[in-house]
Amino acid sequence: MNAIESSPEFVAQIYTEMAERLAIVRKRLGRPLTLTEKILFGHLDNPDTADLRAGESYLQLRPDRVAMQDATAQMALLQFAQADIPRAAVPTTVHCDHLIQAREGAEKDTSRALDENREVYEFLRTASNRYGIGFWKPGAGIIHQVVLEHYAFPGGMMIGTDSHTPNAGGLGMFASGVGGADAVDVMAGFPWEVKSPRIIGVKLTGKLVGWASPKDVILLLCGILTVKGGTNAVIEYFGPGASSISCTGKGTIANMGAELGATTSVFPFDASMDLYLRATERAALADLAAKHTALLTADPEVERDPSKYFARVVTIDLSTLEPHLVGPHTPDLARPISEVAAAVVKESYPDQISVALIGSCTNSSYEDISRVTDVVQQAKAHGMKAATPFLVSPGSEQIRATIARDGQLGEIESVGGQVLANACGPCIGQWKRDELKPGTRNTIVTSFNRNFPARNDGNKDTLAFIASPEIVAAYALAGRLSFNPLKDTLQGRDGKTFTLTAPRPAPDLPANGFVRDRDGYLAPPADGSKIAIEVAKDSKRLQLLTPFAPWDGKDFVELPLLLKAKGKCTTDHISPAGPWLRFRGHLDNISDNMLTGAINAFTGEASPSAPATAREYKSMGLRFIVVGDENYGEGSSREHAAMSPRFLGCAAVIVRSFARIHESNLKKQGILPLTFANPADYDKVREGDLISVFGLATLAPGAELTATLRHTDGGEDRIALRQTLNAEQIAWFKAGSALNVIKGQGR
């Protein structure tokens, strides 16, 4: 049986193996290594022979753990069930966090979710028990927070079926977001394959002061690097400023590296991680890490001459960092707080804030909530209450119970704050906003990480802005986006006007320890092989998978263009969440949301009819092609954004560029992800085009393909397409999916 915990024995063994593999790679490379390289190469499946060219080759890695959340684990486990493998090969956990809808507050919302999602939770619980997977029940917390509190450790490697898995980088782990099919590979005992990343070094100097917080580091970086800037790159932080930031603060920064499209973000092992491990009852891991600091930090030469070792170096001086606000609609539209008021006027953003929200997997640490409490107490001293509804999503039961015990929650509630379940809630559209008429243009501010249109409440006219929790708290008090928390005055109920002072530095670890809570955890039995996994035939929520058909050996000839998407097309546009989350285990049903959020380049409108048209083609035995713009598939790891198109008959997706996880999800599911060799050819695609792709029989790594666009007026354009498939991925395409290849090959 696999132990689920990251026990000292388990971690010691990993450090030994890392050292062995690194010795081999060091011999081959003969140069100093960055921290990223140490963890990556320390987890190579084939250190002797691996092709290590950054940005070019694919690495075969052996992650130490897998984590999955309920909205993605359903499809992952349905695929794992198809692979017919008795038990997960590495320690794996499932976390029930995405399916709880925020409505009336923590208790009622959690109990309603238990009722409404019973069938899905039962499936996840029994499948976890059967396959030797640790199961965290609804209400226990959000995946990344629970992983940080219990399983992450410096130098480890983890993959998770959620794009914010890199949160564990705050504790020095190489943690990456993947689609369910990648998780299935690792759970089945195969290596995880990922593009060998470029490494971007971020040097932090100085120390955060005043209102500036770890969140502002990543908000600023989002503005600098943009949502594409981290694609196939790892962000490695270093410098004196890095060690001045708490472990949970580092978690916030690493978490939101997902917004840059980064493979992950890492921080070197330091005293803050040591303290966090001890505060979470893992002193033995802290001792072990201390013994292995050479493995868990970059070689000294790297810090001395960073530009020699990193593809790019960005320097951020924490001492002069101004708090930032990003949004709306994209996390890289960053502005210093002092420029927000002018932007409100210039862009006609609704000034009145309709709701302020803090917490989530990104920002609900003890430090965050304590700084928020400092801000609200200043207002309370003047008899003030929040001017807007003020919602708090704690990241875990550990954090909720601790801030309840230490009084911060009570303080936040006393100014009108409402505590939601320890779950994703409004961050993923699980938010019943009865007060808002659909279609109303309105402003919300959050301390979350995502702000795509319609993301939080299903309303595309909601403008979501992201800032640190302490800044969001200040906005909640003022109720206006044009309010500058650093300077402007508030009017107290006592008749006095006052200016907020910057919250005092707050501890990231409670003086009296965390309230450790493992009630929400269910360990798998020693032998789960007799446990049956039931999926009712007529279930609306779950559906067993049928393997996708293999490639028929022919070129794609004159396939209809289903949709040409324009501009940002995130996985939230391709497979919207919110109400659709309930179908995450039912491929047929969820496919009715396919591409409905994508903006049709010919009409400028969303595409509600895309699923029906695709079904029509399917009934006629026709496959189709989708065309997209830059960074297509940005955002979430949800593989539904690849499985639904595959299920309805998509043969290829042709775009200007892809986001990493989505490109890999398409490959896994047997769809060809292609890019225009000449990005301007995007403009040649016209409404009603029939698209052919030639050269499939000789498909080979690096080979270009040719396509023709036959236009409705009889004209034709011939264009060149690129692809990044390696030999193994070509085999997936030919077999119909990666899963078809794995099946029967189990360990």
Q: Which residues are catalytic?
A: 97-98, 162, 450, 636, 638
Residue among 6, 101, 363, 637 that touches ligand MIC (CB under 6 A) = 637
CB 536 within 8 A of CB 119: yes
**22, 39, 59, 71: which one binds ligand MIC (CB under 6 A):** 71
Q: For ligand MIC, which stretch binds (CB under 6 A), given 161-169, 519-527, 686-694, 708-716?
A: 161-169
Residue 638 near which of ligand SF4, ligand MIC, none (CB within 5-8 Å, type-dependent): ligand MIC
CA distance 703 to 596: 33
DSSP secondary structure code for residue 234 in this structure = E
First-to-last C-alpha distance (Å) of the chain: 15
Q: Which is nearer to ligand MIC, 199 or 361 (CB)?
A: 361
Using alpha carbons, list the distances in angstroms from residue 230 to 108, 363, 670: 40, 21, 25
The closest alpha carbon to 268, from 305, 227, 310, 235, belongs to 235
The answer to whether the bond into 214 is cis (omega within 30° of 0) is: no
Which of 162, 236, 470, 629 binds ligand SF4 (CB under 6 A)? It is: 162
* Binds ligand MIC (CB under 6 A): choice among 65, 203, 450, 582: 450
Stretch that binds ligand MIC, among 411-419, 589-597, 633-641, 694-702 (CB under 6 A): 633-641
Residue 445 near residue 340 (C-beta atoms within 8 A):
no
How many whole angstroms separate alpha carbon 329 and alpha carbon 514?
Answer: 36
How many Å apart are CA 650 and CA 672, to the nearest integer?
A: 9
Q: Quote the CA–CA distance of 212 and 210 in Å, as a whole number.
A: 6
CA 298, 302, 303, 307 torsion-angle sign: negative
- The tally of CA atoms less than 13 A away on the side-chain side of residue 138 is 26
Other CB atoms within 10 Å distance of the CB of residue 309? 22
How many chain residues bind ligand MIC (CB under 6 A)?
14
Q: Which of 77, 142, 486, 581 binds ligand SF4 (CB under 6 A)?
A: 142
Tokens standing for residue 178 = 């993947």
Partner from ligand MIC, ligand SF4, none contacting 165, C-beta within 5 to 8 A by type = none
Closest by CA to 670, choosing from 693, 695, 642, 694, is 642
Amino acid at position 250, single letter:
K
Minimum distance from CB of 123 to ligand MIC (Å)? 16
The structure tokens listed for 695 are 């050269």
* DSSP-assigned letter for residue 314: E
Stretch that binds ligand MIC, among 207-215, 430-438, 495-503, 632-640 (CB under 6 A): 632-640
Q: Segment near ligand SF4 (CB under 6 A), from 193-201, 342-350, 445-453, 724-732?
A: 445-453
Instruction: Indicate the residue among 178 and 399 with the shorter CB distance to ligand MIC.
Output: 178
| Closer residue to ligand SF4, CB minimum distance, 142 or 148 | 142
- The residue range among 206-214, 422-430, 466-474, 588-596 that interacts with ligand SF4, by the rule CB under 6 A, is 422-430
Among 38, 164, 198, 660, binds ligand MIC (CB under 6 A): 164
Specify the stretch interacting with ligand MIC by CB under 6 A; choose among 37-45, 103-111, 585-593, 630-638.
Answer: 630-638
Query: Shortest approach of ligand SF4 to residue 151 CB, angstroms?
Result: 15
Stretch that binds ligand SF4, among 196-204, 303-311, 446-454, 611-619 (CB under 6 A): 446-454
Give the helix/strand (H/E) hosting 734.
helix 727-735
Nearer to ligand SF4, 98 or 198 (CB): 98
Q: Does 573 bind ligand SF4 (CB under 6 A)?
A: no
Mask for 95-134, x = binds ligand SF4 (CB under 6 A): ---x------------------------------------
Q: Which is nearer to ligand MIC, 65 or 638 (CB)?
A: 638
DSSP notation for 372-431: HHHHHHHHHTTT---SS-EEEE-SBHHHHHHHHHTTHHHHHHHTTEEE--SS-GGGGT-B
Nearer to ligand SF4, 131 or 448 (CB): 448
In the shown chain, the binding pattern of residues 450 to 479 toward ligand SF4, with x for contact by CB under 6 A and - for none, equals x-----------------------------
**Nearest residue (CB) to ligand SF4, 164 versus 371:** 164
Residue 637: which of ligand SF4, ligand MIC, none does it interact with, CB under 5 to 8 A by kind?
Answer: ligand MIC
Contact between 428 and ligand MIC by CB under 6 A: the answer reads yes
Q: Give the strand pairing for 690-694 and 556-564.
A: antiparallel
Kindly indicate which of the ranges 85-93, 107-115, 597-605, 631-639 contains the residues binding ligand MIC, using the contact rule CB under 6 A: 631-639
Residues within window 325-384 making contact with ligand SF4, judged by CB under 6 A: 360-361
Q: Of 61, 57, 180, nearest to 662 (Cα)?
A: 180
Identify what 142 binds: ligand SF4, ligand MIC, none; CB under 5 to 8 Å per kind. ligand SF4
Return d(Cα 306, Cα 16) in angstroms, integer: 27
Q: Which CB atom, from 162 or from 406, has the smaller least distance to ligand MIC?
A: 162
| Contact window for ligand MIC (CB under 6 A) among 32-40, 232-240, 484-492, 635-643 | 635-643
One-letter amino acid at 78 equals L
Of the two residues 585 and 736, which places its CB atom closer to ligand SF4 in the complex?
Answer: 585
**Residue with Cβ nearer ligand SF4 (424 or 463):** 424
Query: Could you tell me how many residues of this chain bind ligand SF4 (CB under 6 A)?
Result: 13
Which residues have C-beta within 8 Å of that of residue 481, sequence separation ≥ 6?
Answer: 340, 341, 344, 349, 350, 351, 352, 353, 443, 445, 465, 475
Q: Is 177 in the site for ligand MIC (CB under 6 A)?
A: yes
Binding map of ligand SF4 across residues 56-95, x = CB under 6 A, - = no contact: ----------------------------------------
Cβ proximity to ligand MIC: between 72 and 664 the closer is 72
**Cα–Cα distance measured from residue 306 to residue 302, given in angstroms and rounded to the nearest whole number:** 5
Q: Is 98 among the residues that bind ligand MIC (CB under 6 A)? A: yes
Out of ligand SF4, ligand MIC, none, which partner does residue 598 contact, by CB within 5 to 8 A per kind?
A: none
Binder of residue 635, out of ligand SF4, ligand MIC, none (CB less than 5 to 8 A by kind): ligand MIC
Distance of CA 454 to the CA centre of its chain: 17
Buried b (16+ CB within 10 A) or exposed e, 365-393: bbbbbbbbbbbbebbbebebebbbbbbbb
Residue matched to tokens 């890695």: 61
Residue 473 vs residues 35, 417, 483, 495: alpha-carbon distances, Å? 36, 10, 12, 21
DSSP labels for 32-46? ---HHHHHHHTTBS-
Q: Which two tokens stand for residue 81?
A: 């069930």
* The entry of ligand SF4, ligand MIC, none that residue 72 binds, CB within 5 to 8 Å by partner kind: ligand MIC
Report CA dihedral (681, 567, 360, 325) to the nearest 10 degrees.
120
* Structure-token match 């690849």, residue found: 642
Q: Which neighbouring-strand residues pair with 192?
A: 61
How many other C-beta atoms can be found within 10 angstroms of the C-beta atom of residue 707?
Answer: 24
* Minimum CB distance to ligand SF4 smaller for 82 or for 447: 447
What does 177 bind: ligand MIC, ligand SF4, none (CB cut-off 5 to 8 Å by kind)? ligand MIC
Asked if 586 interacts with ligand MIC (CB under 6 A), we say: no
575 binds ligand SF4 (CB under 6 A): no
Establish if 72 lies at the interface with ligand MIC (CB under 6 A).
yes
Residues that bind ligand MIC (CB under 6 A): 71-72, 98, 162-164, 177, 428, 450, 577, 635-638
Residues that bind ligand SF4 (CB under 6 A): 98, 142-143, 162, 164, 360-361, 424, 427-428, 448-450
